[in-house]
Amino acid sequence: MALGIARFIGFIGSAFMLSWLIYPIFGGALAISGLIFVLIAAKKISETMGKNQIFRDFLIASIFLFPFLILSSAFIAVLRENVELVSQLFSILVHDILALWILLILASFFLRKSLKLIAETTNVPLFKISANTYLLSAILLPTIIGFLILFLAIFLQALAFLFLTSPKKTSFSVVK
């Protein structure tokens, strides 16, 4: 039953996270709440499967992702209003943007560890594919291709949550 709850919460959270890429201004708030939902789903999976490392790695990834989501949403909001201001801000904040990018790569590393462990313990290989896609998207994020791959990673994560099922209980009986 707990995996059913994790399935629902994880799927809804992933859908909220997708909203950040579709509409970044208001999607930032939804993406943060989606990340919290997926964090709760990871906690449920971690408790159900008895693997504390799943939640620990996802929590570390989330700590790195929060500032990225907040600051990138603000940056995109400013970009939509005034392109000249963005170019001025970019030259001033280039070191901060680089630091955010490094935070994102670190977050995706821990997210990858967590999702791969979920894939191993739940027998849903789509989590592993999503995990690898997250890391690739983080590395390529300064390009448009990175954003497209990030969209794919979150979409695959949402699909993976849909395939999450409770482990089958098997009982052995001896026929005499």
What confidence tens digit (pLDDT) does each residue in 57-75 have?
999 999 999 888 887 777 7
Cβ contact 82:110 at 8 Å: no
Model pLDDT, residue 125:
94
DSSP string, 5-63: HHHHHHHHHHHHHHHHHHSHHHHHHHHHHHHHHHHHHHHHHHHHHT-HHHHHHHHHHHH
Q: Kindly tell me if the per-residue pLDDT of 147 is higher than 70.
A: yes
Task: Taking residues 69-90, report their average pLDDT.
Answer: 71
Q: Kindly tell me if the per-residue pLDDT of 176 is higher than 80.
A: no
Check residues 120 and 89 and name the one with the higher pLDDT: 120
Q: How much is the pTM?
A: 0.83
Model pLDDT, residue 122:
92
Averaged pLDDT score across all residues of the chain:
85
Task: Let me know the angle formed at the C-alpha of 28 by 26 and 33, rounded to the nearest 5 degrees.
Answer: 110
Q: Kindly tell me if the per-residue pLDDT of 107 is higher than 90.
A: yes
CA distances (Å), origin 75, targets 27, 97, 150:
13, 10, 18
Kind and range of the H or E run holding 165 = none
- Of 26-30, 74-78, 169-173, which gets the smallest average pLDDT? 169-173
Q: Kindly tell me if the per-residue pLDDT of 121 is higher than 60.
A: yes
Model pLDDT, residue 138:
93
